[in-house]
Structure 1
Amino acid sequence: MMPTSRTAVASPACAARPRRRGDAPGRAGTARFPTRCGHGRRGRGAAPAPRSASAHAAGPGAAIGCLEAEPWGAVAPAPALHVAAPAPGDALAVPAEQRVREVVLKQAALAAAAPRRTARIEPEPVPGALKAAFGRCGEVCNEYAKTFYLATQLMTPERRRAIWAIYVWCRRTDELVDGPNASHISALALDRWEARLEDIFAGRPYDMLDAALSDTVASFPVDIQPFRDMIEGMRMDLSKSRYRTFDELYLYCYYVAGTVGLMSVPVMGVSPDSRAATETVYKGALALGLANQLTNILRDVGEDARRGRIYLPQDELEMAGLSEADIFNGRVTDEWRSFMRGQITRARSFFRQAEEGATELNQESRWPVWASLLLYRQILDEIEANDYDNFTKRAYVPKAKKLMALPKAYLRSLMAPSSLTQSQRHYSSLT
């Protein structure tokens, strides 16, 4: 639902850092049901580093990538270490879809039990300091996700501010493994960042950007688990560069992208006219994050390979008669084309599921989601247009096509909840 591509703000050193993949609206134009936020792609080159002073970068008083902010009120004590990650064996003991479904059901139940929010003609006033915090979040969103920021202008002020706050937290988390301190980030730093997250949900923000998120989670029925799971995705990027099965890859895609949708739907809200089950809406949000991340992976096969990483199911590669050598050598063969057709078909199936959830959102929240869905799905078309050469050619959606998608997304956002017939959904998935 929202983009979470790399951010570099406030620091001259970061301003000089070249953009990396996904910084354009395509990392998810990226709205994760929002996009990459936003998440977005994670840093692929980060590896565990020797513990040093920089390993504490996620603790109070230290910069989080380039998104720095002044302490909020009294400086909180350094968070105690909190290790919530399951052991590797335990993580895969339960099928990934079942584990993720439990998180979806929990968040859906929390949202369903909360009172329905209605738009206020006169929004409640926001205290000056908090207003500045939300304003800073909006500035970051506007600078690095312009299309998404534009679409949020249709949302009510309180929903708009809250979405900005979630976006910025996802960007800061992403910066841990792809920011200027990424080479020094260790599991310890991520443990400290997770402890800081606990403080945010407990109403003890460290800085102004934390304060914006703390106010958001206190105002909307947002569960902490998707936030914890995104941090777990960062841990995976520190140590894992191969995925044996799609079940493993599914879990990773949920951690780094599907989580953003679960964070965002409670803020975006379900339409009062929706007849769909709350679970359906959250499944749609999850599906868009998964679809965006799978699209990222297919687009960036060559770039990841040059970093020594392969984000494709190894068992499916073997069944297609392909090896790691084929990936590293960038061979576009008939076997590779057949394999890619299957992967693209899977990604499109998640996009179709995402449509079912997007339609059920509050009308003012639908445009950024539909824009993300339509813009990002076009990347798959471009991979096909490049004859499946994602080793040396980057699937790039021309600006003209992106601009043409925006009014179409807006028209889709005007459709009443549950009004799409099955045939209309099928048609829309092909356009």
Structure 2
Amino acid sequence: MSSQEHELVSEVAPAATSSSFYAAMRVLPSAQRDAMYHVYAFCREVDDVADNGGPREGRLAELECYRFDIEQYYLTGRTTHRTRDLAPFITEYGLLKDDFIAVIDGMEMDIVRDIQAPDWSVLDLYCDRAASAVGRLSVRIFGMDEAHGIELSHHLGRALQLTNILRDIDEDAAMGRLYLPREALQDAGISTTDIATILAHPNLDRACRGIAMLTRNYYNQAERVMAHCPRRTARSPRMMATVYRGILEKLIGRGWNAPRADVRRSKRYVLWAVLRDGIF
């Protein structure tokens, strides 16, 4: 790893270096890896604005600075400290302004009000902004053709985001958030809107299993798309899919009845993803 890469990794660590996404980025050729580090760092910064607490007005104002700087770069080419390191990769890989704005809009959804049992349509919009938009930026860096890239981003982004939602329900609840869709809760016979009551409800497992089955289907669709892509362009997303699908299966095996044991990524799944894709 070059000194520049070390410096960039230190900027996105520990969040990046402790994530499966970091492992998936590390297998890329150096130019693509550098671009992904910078995109990841930008997305982490915006995410931290949403999650780090403080008055909503201040966080919304900070997000607006990111939005303004992105808009200004695409309009005038002027950079700020928020876009300066990202700019060369926007040009090199043709990254789209709308996808950066979508990521910011997704984080704004978390600030305007704490998301609590949204409608499926609202949750799907959130998944598109918070995850699939990142995928649309990434597939351009991976070199995937546009049609396959957009389709993969749609399915894999939702699969990854829903896996996180199913894994982090207790952590999200501590921040006053509940991303489980209202329709899934109602179908399982849960009518209350109180988060603590929902998380202790005996039918929560049924609601979460329904969401998990949909998430499985998103992974299946993502695998179908990747099967039609050149191996080199699908290497990183396939690794992400393998690791996070492993987490989903562990969640299904554990269930969602309280108390819930923590389920995190396993180094075994990361190693399997690497070996399966023949990286070494």
Under a length normalisation based on structure 1, what TM-score does the superposition of the two structures give?
0.57
- Report what 1:185 is aligned to: 58
Q: Residues 233 and 391 (structure 1 numbering): CA distance in 2 closer, same or farther, change over 3 Å? A: farther
Superposition deviation, residue 236 in structure 1:
0.8
Structure 2 counterpart of 1:205, from 64, 79, 104 = 79
Residues 1:385 and 2:253 aligned together:
yes
Q: Secondary structure at the match of 1:185?
A: helix
Q: Secondary structure at the match of 2:173?
A: helix
Report the Cα distance in structure 1 between the residues aligned to 2:121 and 2:259, rounded to whole angstroms: 24
Q: Residues 374 and 242 (structure 1 numbering): CA distance in 2 closer, same or farther, change over 3 Å? A: same
User: Pairwise mapping of residues 145-156 of structure 1 onto structure 2 (< 5 A)?
Assistant: 145-146=16-17, 148-156=21-29
- Report what 2:222 is aligned to: 354
The structure with the largest alpha-carbon Rg is 1
Residues 1:136 and 2:7 aligned together:
yes
- Report what 1:170 is aligned to: 43
Considering Cα pairs closer than 8 Å and 6+ residues apart, tell me whether 1 or 2 has the greater RCO.
Answer: 1
**Does the CA contact (< 8 Å) of 2:184 and 2:210 recur in 1?**
no
Q: Secondary structure at the match of 1:232?
A: helix
Deviates more, 1:287-296 or 1:349-358: 349-358
Q: Secondary structure at the match of 2:200?
A: coil
Superposition deviation, residue 227 in structure 1:
0.6
- Report what 1:196 is aligned to: 69
RMSD of the TM alignment (CA)?
A: 2.9
Superposition deviation, residue 229 in structure 1:
0.9
Q: Residues 174 and 214 (structure 1 numbering): CA distance in 2 closer, same or farther, change over 3 Å? A: same
- Report what 2:200 is aligned to: 331
Superposition deviation, residue 237 in structure 1:
0.5
- Report what 1:94 is aligned to: none
Report the Cα distance in structure 1 between the residues aligned to 2:50 and 2:157, rounded to whole angstroms: 19
Report the Cα distance in structure 1 between the residues aligned to 2:270 and 2:79, rounded to whole angstroms: 38
Superposition deviation, residue 239 in structure 1:
2.3
Superposition deviation, residue 169 in structure 1:
0.9
Structure 2 counterpart of 1:299, from 136, 142, 167 = 167
Superposition deviation, residue 187 in structure 1:
2.1
Structure 1 counterpart of 2:126, from 247, 252, 265 = 252
Report the Cα distance in structure 2 between the residues aligned to 1:350 and 1:212, rounded to whole angstroms: 33
Residues 1:263 and 2:134 aligned together:
no
Superposition deviation, residue 142 in structure 1:
6.7
**Does the CA contact (< 8 Å) of 2:187 and 2:207 recur in 1?**
no
Q: Secondary structure at the match of 1:228?
A: helix
Report the Cα distance in structure 1 between the residues aligned to 2:188 and 2:14, rounded to whole angstroms: 42
Q: Residues 228 and 132 (structure 1 numbering): CA distance in 2 closer, same or farther, change over 3 Å? A: farther
Q: Secondary structure at the match of 1:288?
A: helix
> Could you tell me which amino acid in structure 2 is paired with residue 260 of structure 1?
V
- Report what 1:14 is aligned to: none
Q: Residues 136 and 182 (structure 1 numbering): CA distance in 2 closer, same or farther, change over 3 Å? A: farther
Q: What stretches of structure 1 of length at least 5 have no aligned partner?
A: 1-130, 272-277, 415-431
Superposition deviation, residue 258 in structure 1:
1.1
Greater helix share, structure number: 2
Q: What stretches of structure 2 of length at least 5 have no aligned partner?
A: none
Q: Secondary structure at the match of 1:212?
A: coil
**Does the CA contact (< 8 Å) of 2:118 and 2:179 recur in 1?**
no
Residues 1:234 and 2:107 aligned together:
yes
Per-residue CA deviations over 1:398-420 (Å, capped at 9, x if unaligned) read 43344334312x24x79xxxxxx
Structure 2 counterpart of 1:364, from 207, 232, 237 = 232
Superposition deviation, residue 297 in structure 1:
0.9
- Report what 1:290 is aligned to: 158
**Does the CA contact (< 8 Å) of 1:245 and 1:316 recur in 2?**
no
Q: Residues 336 and 362 (structure 1 numbering): CA distance in 2 closer, same or farther, change over 3 Å? A: same
**Does the CA contact (< 8 Å) of 1:133 and 1:212 recur in 2?**
no
Under a length normalisation based on structure 2, what TM-score does the superposition of the two structures give?
0.84
Superposition deviation, residue 359 in structure 1:
3.7
- Report what 1:281 is aligned to: 149
Superposition deviation, residue 392 in structure 1:
3.3
**Does the CA contact (< 8 Å) of 2:123 and 2:181 recur in 1?**
yes
